């Protein structure tokens, strides 16, 4: 027997998850989400989750299956290219979502969507359930650079395609994180002053406990990450980066121009840029680490909230950020950049601290320990009680 049609059949939002849509429908009708899930789905074998049937949801809402499948990726047959979207549902622009009644909207957003340029909201990467951040209407302040960076990001996408752009922007975030964390007073001071200026607007001094989020730190470096990505995604620049010494010199000159440091040279032992040149520039783009169907939210009865563990990590990060006002370490530890921090060809390291160190050095960690006498004295950065980086001995798994 088909389910009875609901009296308030609100439409789904674009790229909304099924759990989010059914939760909104249930709220509007004073029902529990399970009361809607069961009539429009079948049990998934060996699981407590359920698979929705498009024709039953169409009967419930009175909306064509083609309309529902166009908005709800989980209903599409054949399945969509899940690698095109982030694996974790997240809130979008609140002004865009305001027209969708029944509660919060959780969407699967494409990897290239960081800003709602129409309403000037930073959406950013998923981060402990944090809502989008208003970037204000002042076209002259540092936050306007964030909105403009989204437009440049979309131009990169059209020019180089999704795979190269995904890899390049995440690598840009990785490099910015290292420049902020590893060289706080070095020759990248102009970029760091910009980041500090944006963080004062996004996370005001003294208000860290209520305004801090890792996503806002990504917003602070996003314009420079996209600037780097324009070079990192370019086949021509990638060939120079992995080419002859003269070609590599030309690549470093371009990086120095972007950094506003014409004499840029990596330090002894390399840095994140030199590491990318040596190990990654000649390789194919890294792909997303996880897809939405691999997560616990796929087929779940209700949208997942932020875990207590995630919130505790955010609270600790807010505390230390309030002390040192430096965000590089938070960026480097965030799961958003994991696809380029741990690549398929990266050496497996003993813990996240060693992994972060490995991404910022040209020391050959692929060699066996007995042949690495020249790096016996190498050290790794760790955080002390104040959140600042100190060093410890390097070890491989």
The length of the chain is: 397
Q: What is the pTM of this model?
A: 0.89
Whether pLDDT at 391 is above 90:
no
Please tell me the least confidently modeled range out of 70-74, 237-241, 359-363, 390-394. Answer: 390-394
Averaged pLDDT for residues 13-32 = 95
**214 torsion bin: left (phi>0), alpha (psi -120 to 50), beta (else):** alpha
Q: How much is the pLDDT for 126?
A: 83
Asked whether the CA dihedral 236, 241, 244, 248 is positive or negative, the reply is positive
pLDDT tens digits for range 184-215: 555 557 888 999 999 999 999 999 999 999 99
3-class state of residue 51 by DSSP = strand
Whether pLDDT at 57 is above 50:
yes
pLDDT tens digits for range 240-253: 999 999 999 999 99
Q: How much is the pLDDT for 315?
A: 86
Name the token pair of 185: 């007073």
Burial class (CB in 10 A: 0-12, 13-18, 19+), 127: buried
DSSP letter for each residue of 71-140: H-GGG-SSPP-GGGB-SS-B---HHHHTTS-SS---B--BTT--EETTTTEE--S--TTPPPEE--S-TT
The position carrying tokens 């330090």 is 267
Residue 258 CA to residue 231 CA, distance in Å, equals 10
Measured between alpha carbons, how far is residue 133 from residues 93, 212, 283 in Å? 8, 11, 35
Higher pLDDT, 285 or 371: 285
Report whether 212 contacts 321 (CB < 8 A).
yes
Report which secondary-structure segment, H or E, holds 43: strand 41-43
């Amino acid at each position: 027997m088909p389910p009875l049609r609901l009296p308030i059949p609100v439409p789904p939002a674009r790229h909304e998850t099924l759990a989010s849509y059914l939760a909104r429908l249930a709220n509007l009708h004073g029902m529990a989400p399970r009361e809607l899930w069961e009539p429009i789905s079948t049990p998934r074998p060996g699981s407590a989750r359920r698979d929705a049937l498009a024709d039953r949801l169409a009967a419930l809402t009175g909306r064509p299956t083609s309309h529902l499948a166009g908005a709800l990726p989980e209903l599409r047959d054949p399945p969509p290219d899940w690698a095109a979207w982030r694996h974790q549902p997240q809130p979008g622009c609140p002004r865009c979502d305001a027209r969708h009644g029944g509660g919060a909207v959780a969407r699967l957003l494409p990897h290239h969507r960081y800003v709602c340029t129409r309403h000037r909201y930073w959406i950013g990467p998923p981060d402990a359930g944090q809502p989008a951040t208003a970037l204000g209407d002042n076209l002259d302040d540092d936050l306007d650079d964030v909105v403009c960076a989204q437009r440049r990001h979309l131009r990169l996408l059209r020019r180089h395609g999704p795979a190269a752009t995904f890899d390049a922007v995440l690598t840009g975030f990785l490099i910015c994180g290292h420049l902020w964390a590893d060289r706080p007073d070095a020759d990248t001071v102009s970029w760091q002053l910009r980041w500090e200026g944006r963080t004062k607007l996004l996370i005001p001094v003294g208000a860290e406990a209520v305004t801090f989020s890792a996503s806002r730190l990504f917003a602070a470096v996003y314009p420079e990450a996209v600037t780097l990505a324009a070079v990192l995604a370019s086949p021509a620049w990638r060939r120079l980066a992995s080419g002859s010494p003269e070609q590599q010199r030309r690549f470093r000159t371009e990086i120095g121009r972007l950094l506003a440091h014409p004499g840029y040279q990596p330090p002894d032992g390399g840095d994140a840029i030199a590491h990318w040149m040596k190990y990654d520039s000649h390789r194919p783009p890294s792909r997303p680490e996880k897809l939405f169907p691999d997560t616990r939210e796929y087929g779940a009865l209700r949208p997942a909230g932020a875990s207590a563990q995630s919130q505790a990590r955010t609270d600790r990060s807010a505390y230390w950020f309030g002390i040192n006002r430096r965000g590089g370490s938070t960026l480097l530890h965030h799961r958003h950049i994991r696809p380029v921090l741990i690549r398929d060809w990266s050496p497996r390291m003993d813990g996240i601290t060693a992994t972060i160190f490995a991404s910022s050095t040209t020391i050959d960690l692929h060699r066996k320990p007995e042949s690495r006498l020249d790096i016996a004295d190498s050290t790794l950065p760790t955080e002390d009680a104040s959140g600042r980086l100190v060093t410890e001995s390097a070890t491989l798994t």
